[in-house]
Amino acid sequence: MHAGQRVDNFLFTHLKGVPKTHIYRIIRKGEVRVNKGRVKQTTKLKVGDQVRIPPIRLAERTAANIDATRYEFLKRATLFEDDALLIINKPSGMAVHAGSGIQIGLIEALRAVRQDLRYLELVHRLDRATSGCLVLAKKASVLKALHEDFKNNSLTTGRLDKRYYTLVKGRWRHGERNVVKPLNTEARQHGERVVIVDAQGKYARSIMRPVSVSDLASLVEVKLLTGRTHQVRVHALSEGHPIAGDPKYGDLEFNKSMKAFGLSRLFLHAVSLRFRHPITDAELQVEAPLSDDLNAVLTQLTLSLN
């Protein structure tokens, strides 16, 4: 069932509670072996592969020792639920899983809050600062089926339509823009890992459409046809329109001006998902409304959603 899955994703599933940084460290040091050979985090598993995982002795943060009352708000964030799926409107500022100094991520918190569920796994990820539609599987068979669709995104199958709202600097003058720019997700600048447009990078494609514009800022809808790390943020920057509130790829002065309008976070929101239900194959569309704080910023800027 793990054929085609990346080594790092395989380990995230099988080493719950182990920080992401630790998993990447044991891969980098060669302690994780596939068929007795060293691998990269991006190596994809094949049928029949033998994976060796070194002994891990880290104290796991289990549902039993998480104060579930702190995360009851996640129940109110539910957008859709049935026997197969749980889809929530992820809040900004919450990582999807523990790691990198984060003791409790959204998946750990949900397992504590929803102890009625015997199985709950992330189908895909959103950056910590990004809010919006996030899909979780309640069965292993559902996870496997949806991994295929979300891995391929909208590019090859047409079974997934993933859209974001983002606020960018300046007046968007391009109309609808088909942005096809390869991204290097392993680049380093000043010792920090960054994503850059690079001819040697991985194919990445976004369709950007203006929703409402002004001289100061524009609200843009982005349809992702691939799912590279920081794709929306870097593609927006490459078009000359960095995203509001982006501390990594944004414009410092623009971010300061946006704070005066009440923006205190990255303005990037996964507004909608349309995909085929993994059991019924019926089309399922879910929308996550913008939070009150983001709507207030748009009102201050006299930008609208229509």
Q: For 295-305, what is the mean pLDDT?
A: 94
- Tell me, yes or no, whether 101 lies in a domain: no
Asked if residue 183 and residue 53 are part of one domain, the reply reads: no
Q: Report how far residue 185's alpha carbon sits from residue 189's, in angstroms, rounded to the nearest whole number.
A: 12
- Tell me, yes or no, whether 77 lies in a domain: no
pLDDT score recorded for residue 156 = 64
pTM: 0.80
pLDDT score recorded for residue 269 = 98
Contact 126, 162 (CB under 8 A): no
- Tell me, yes or no, whether 197 lies in a domain: yes
- Tell me, yes or no, whether 137 lies in a domain: no
Assign 3-class secondary structure to the chain: CCCCCEHHHHHHHHCCCCCHHHHHHHHHCCCCEECCEECCCCCECCCCCCEECCCCCCCCCCHHHCCHHHHCHHHHCEEEECCCEEEEEECCCCCCCCECCECCCHHHHHHHHCCCCCCCEECCCCCCCCEEEEEEECCHHHHHHHHHHHHHCCCCCCCEEEEEEEEEECCCCCCCEEEECCEEEEEEECCEEEEEECCCCECCEEEEEEEEECCCEEEEEEEECCCCCCHHHHHHHHCCCCECCCCCCCCHHHHHHHHCCCCCCCCEEEEEEEEECCCCCCEEEEECCCCHHHHHHHHHCCCCCC
C-beta atoms surrounding 306 within 10 Å: 4
What domain range includes position 24? 1-57
pLDDT score recorded for residue 272 = 97
pLDDT, tens only, 107-144: 999 999 998 998 999 999 999 999 999 999 999 999 98
Of residues 8, 127, 246, 251, which has the active-site annotation?
127
Tally of domains within the chain: 2
State which of 1-10, 14-23, 46-55, 150-159 shows the largest mean pLDDT: 46-55
How sure is the predictor about 61, in pLDDT bands with cuts at 50, 70 and 90?
A: very low
Domain CATH code at residue 182: 3.30.2350.10
Percentage of the chain lying above the pLDDT 70 cut: 93
Residue predicted with more confidence, 273 or 16: 273
Residues facing 99 on adjacent strands: 102
pLDDT score recorded for residue 60 = 45
- Tell me, yes or no, whether 38 lies in a domain: yes
Q: Report how far residue 259's alpha carbon sits from residue 203's, in angstroms, rounded to the nearest whole number.
A: 34
Q: For 35-48, what is the mean pLDDT?
A: 86
Asked if residue 169 and residue 282 are part of one domain, the reply reads: yes
Q: For 246-267, what is the mean pLDDT?
A: 96
pLDDT score recorded for residue 155 = 66
Is pLDDT of 194 > 50? yes
Of 57, 85, 102, the residue at which a domain comes to its end is 57
Of 57, 76, 102, the residue at which a domain comes to its end is 57
Six token digits for residue 90: 């992820």
pLDDT score recorded for residue 30 = 86
- Tell me, yes or no, whether 149 lies in a domain: no
Is pLDDT of 173 > 50? yes
- Tell me, yes or no, whether 117 lies in a domain: no
How sure is the predictor about 297, in pLDDT bands with cuts at 50, 70 and 90?
A: very high
Asked if residue 165 and residue 39 are part of one domain, the reply reads: no
pLDDT score recorded for residue 115 = 87
- Tell me, yes or no, whether 223 lies in a domain: yes
Residue predicted with more confidence, 69 or 151: 69
CB within 8 A of 67, min separation 6: which ones? 112
Q: For 139-160, what is the mean pLDDT?
A: 80
pLDDT score recorded for residue 59 = 45
pLDDT score recorded for residue 87 = 98
Catalytic residue status for 83: no
Domain CATH code at residue 35: 3.10.290.10
pLDDT score recorded for residue 248 = 94
